[in-house]
Amino acid sequence: MEIVFVIGGLALVLGGVGFWRGKSRKKTPQEKLSPVSGSPENKTLGDKLRKTREALFGTSQAFDLQSLEESLLAGDVGAKTTEILLDRLRAQPIATGETPRGLIQTEMIKVLSVPHRNLAELAQEHKPLVIEIVGINGVGKTTSIGKLARYFKSQGKSVLLGAADTFRAGAIAQLQVWAERVGVDFVKGREGADPGAVAFDAVTAGKARGADVVILDTAGRLHTKSNLMDELKKIQKVIKKVIPEAPHETWLVLDGTLGQNSLAQAREFQQTLGLTGTIVTKLDGTAKGGCILPVTQELGVPVRFIGVGETDEDLIPFNPEQFVHSLLT
Ligand SMILES: Nc1nc2c(ncn2[C@@H]2O[C@H](COP(=O)(O)OP(=O)(O)OP(=O)(O)O)[C@@H](O)[C@H]2O)c(=O)[nH]1
Ligand SMILES: [Mg+2]
């Protein structure tokens, strides 16, 4: 138990130091625009989630309920979700051959398995499938959109990206670089233009050109600024003038390094917009990846993708079994 603690604590401290260093040094616009393509090492998901895994379960194979509770709390799973998981464990007699480790895996997978339609099906049904991406500043919205464009293209879908972040200087160019690199269509307006108008143009163009998927970038905003939250609602309304049931999907991007601090944002975005999914980024190098559990529990919407690095390939479709098995093997 002490070992779990020491390693968990160390991972948290290292995660914290990493976060602080990341904050203290701002990236140049060029660095922001040009993540290196391709991972230098062939890391597994388990390698990328190492800090979270160590925070949650240490390297020890055996654990009791008491130490499990402590590590779940330390790993940003949150009091409410930890209690729910432990209650379920307590309520279950351990069948022959079953381990507490196996049981907790099963229970975590249950928490993360929110019923949802799969994307291929949705894209088949709606042409174009319109996905609006929202979130607070700097969480990884634009980068994730670039990676999503690559993902959908690899699935044989035609993609159009709409640059509805007309607020931050350089945001349009950042998305355009991704569109060009991945080789997908791109619609923009002028900097400072009405984001609703850009969204309208992008969805109209996507429809006219027969795109399979339209993904809209939006400006980062604090969930506490009600005028900016209203602006997102307005974007949704404007899109409906082109396609009444769009946006078909509204995904909130959450920065995994913020851990449970994301819960308040998540609630606010959910309340204003009605989310259908999340993308949790920056899970590489953080010990706070356990926050995926309370966020999913709280919102009741599935994690659609997770970000585990800065290259094109570092956004992967979220699979609860794969994720939990990477944390606990
Ligand atoms: N390590 C790591 N970095 C990431 C990941 N996703 C995004 N980033 C980095 O996070 C930084 C911010 O990403 P952006 O995509 O510009 O974030 P944003 O939410 O669009 O930011 P604003 O538009 O300013 O609100 C960039 O340096 C990205 O490379 C990830 O999964 N892992
Ligand atoms: Mg952005």
Decide if 221 contacts 137 (C-beta within 8 A). Answer: yes
- Ligand 1 centroid from CA 1, angstroms: 36
Does residue 139 have its Cβ closer than 6 Å to ligand 1?
Answer: yes
End-to-end CA distance of the chain: 18
Instruction: Report residues near ion ligand 2: CB below 5 Å.
Output: 141-142
Give distance in angstroms: CA of 307 to centre of ligand 1. Answer: 9
Point out the ligand 1 atom lying closest to the alpha carbon of residue 136.
25
The owner of tokens 């919205």 is 141
Q: Is the CB of 142 under 6 A from ligand 1?
A: yes
Per-residue model confidence as pLDDT tens for the chain (329 residues): 444 434 444 344 333 333 333 333 444 444 444 344 444 456 889 999 999 988 887 755 566 778 888 888 988 999 999 999 998 888 876 666 677 778 888 999 999 999 999 999 999 999 999 999 999 999 999 999 999 999 999 999 999 999 999 999 999 999 999 999 999 999 999 999 999 999 999 999 999 999 999 999 999 999 999 999 999 999 999 999 999 999 999 999 999 999 999 999 999 999 999 999 999 999 998 999 999 999 999 999 999 999 999 988 999 999 999 999 998 77
Domains defined for the chain, CATH in brackets: 119-275 (3.40.50.300)
Q: Which numbered atom of ligand 1 lies nearest the CA of 145?
A: 15
Per-residue DSSP letter, 108:
H
HSE value, Cβ hemisphere, 13 Å, CA-based, for 21: 8
What is the whole-number distance in angstroms between the Cα of residue 112 and the centre of ligand 2? 27
State which of 33, 39, 51, 143 you would mutate to test the pocket of ligand 1, scoring each by most atoms of that ligand within 8 A of its C-beta.
143
What is the three-class DSSP state of 35?
coil
**What's the helix, strand, coil split of the chain in %, to 5?**
55, 10, 35
